[in-house]
Amino acid sequence: MAVADVSQSSAKVNWLYDARVRAVFYQILTIVLFVLFVVWLGSNTAQNLEDRGIATGFGFLDQPAGFGVPFSLIDYSETSPYWDAFVLSVLNTLFISFIGIVLATVIGFIFGVMRLSSNWIISKFAAIYLETARNVPLLLQILFWYFGVLTALPQLRQSINIGDSIFLNNRGLYMPSPIYGPGFEFVVIAFLVAVIGVIMIRRWAAKRQEATGEQFPVFWTALGLILGLPLLAFAVTGFPLSWEYPALKGFNFRGGAVLIPEFMALLAALTLYTAAFIGEIVRAGIMAVSHGQTEAAYALGIRPGTTMRLVIIPQALRVIVPPLTSQYLNLTKNSSLAAAIGYPELVAVWSGTVLNQTGQAIECILMTMLVYLTISLSISVFMNWYNRRIALVER
């Protein structure tokens, strides 16, 4: 009787001290505070906008933008609507990010491996670059390339001339631009066919090696196919490609393609800055593979090159890929620093020029942020997929 009493009374906790009740209470409180906060912000904003006579909404997107930009991947003029300026700035951001990511990865891997070299001078050489580039603010590097290096390039008339086709001066880098003739699409198709063919051959070769142990020279076949098939198509269709060369006419170069100095300065700074971080990541990744792996591979009689390719790099990649992803994202986000030198990318055009012209602060910043959110999420989704693919398969 007494025992039952005790258990009953102890099981009955005052609801005030029940963790679950408290959790629900805290959460409701949070929601209420959060909603009140948002409502407060909203009413303030509405009042402020009314006071300043700003109409909200996205109607301004159809109006003519009225400003020109020095670098564009699409047809754009001053009469184009704001929407076109938006598309242009997003494309410019993606363009410089893509090229920057490719270059930074290559340079970063080279310097990461150099840092690990057993050669003292090469290792120190890489260390000096890595430490300098990592410890100096990116914005300073951008300004240095733009105001320190590129303005020191020769004037238009004294352009650095490479084979009468590439010209470098303080207005930019002038290059020949390709003109595709009829039938060039067959070359592209041939290239795609070659790529698909290589993938299939690789699969077949891997299966055959598993079944019979015989090896197949996949690399050389792939090289032959990827170079040979498009070349063959190119020859068969009668070389449908010509180049338009830039030529000095009057006060400027005409024809060809041009990379403006803002683009080059931003690309140089972004690439070298991010490459330094990638170099450190690569170094850390390779060092994370235990030395026993190398020794075991050598003990099995595998040659050093093959050991690197089949034993070290696959394991190092598991360590390298996640931080590499965040470096790619950082590079994309850091391209927004172009606002300081005027390369027309998203922040400079949309949160700068357009915001100042239209006064649509909320819409402009919201759209800018949404674009970066989308880019970030897509890169992380892709990289997570890739990471899962190469992740350690555990029991």
- Residues at the interface with another protein (CB under 8 A): 23, 26-27, 30-31, 34, 41, 44-45, 47-49, 51, 117-122, 125, 131-132, 134-140, 143-144, 147-148, 151, 291, 329, 333-334, 336-337, 339-340, 347, 351, 355, 361-362, 365, 368-369, 372-373, 376-377
Residue 358 CB, nearest approach to another protein (Å): 12
Nearer residue to another protein within complex by CB, 233 or 341: 341
Alpha-carbon distances of 232 from 91, 188, 195, 240, rounded to whole Å: 33, 11, 15, 12
User: Which residue, 58 or 239, has its beta carbon nearer to another protein?
Assistant: 58
For another protein, give the closer residue by CB, 44 or 158.
44
Kindly state the smallest distance separating residue 377's Cβ from another protein, in Å.
Answer: 7
Give the shortest CB-275-to-another protein separation in angstroms: 16
Per-residue CA distances from 21 to 7, 10, 12, 27, 32 (Å) = 21, 18, 14, 10, 17
Minimum gap (Å) between residue 392 Cβ and another protein: 18
**Closest C-alpha to 350, from 58, 90, 139, 56:** 90
Least distance in Å: CB of 26 to another protein?
6
The least CB distance from residue 252 to another protein, in Å, is 24
Residue (of 98, 119, 95, 123) closest to 279 by Cα position? 123
Alpha carbon 173 to its chain's center:
22
By C-beta, is 94 or 136 nearer to another protein?
A: 136
In 3D space, the residue among 342, 190, 194, 319 whose CA is nearest the CA of residue 263 turns out to be 342
CA–CA distance, 177 with 130 (Å, rounded to integer): 35
Residues 6+ apart with CB under 8 A from 230: 187, 188, 190, 191, 194
Structure tokens at 144: 């240095």
Neighbours of 382 (CB within 10 A): 12
Nearer to another protein, 248 or 340 (CB): 340
In the complex, least distance from residue 18 CB atom to another protein, rounded to whole angstroms: 13
Residue 201 or residue 365: which is nearer to another protein going by CB? 365
Instruction: Give every CB contact of residue 104 below 8 A, 6+ residues apart in sequence.
Output: 270, 271, 272, 274, 275, 278, 327, 331
Given the complex with another protein, which of 177 and 384 has the nearer CB atom?
A: 384
Side chain identity, residue 339: A
Give the distance from CA 75 to its chain's centroid. 24
Q: Around 191, how many Cα atoms within 13 Å sit in the side-chain half-sphere?
A: 8
Q: Which is nearer to another protein, 9 or 118 (CB)?
A: 118
Rounded least distance, CB 280 to another protein, Å: 10
If phi > 0 it is left, if psi is from -120 to 50 it is alpha, else beta; for residue 256 that is left
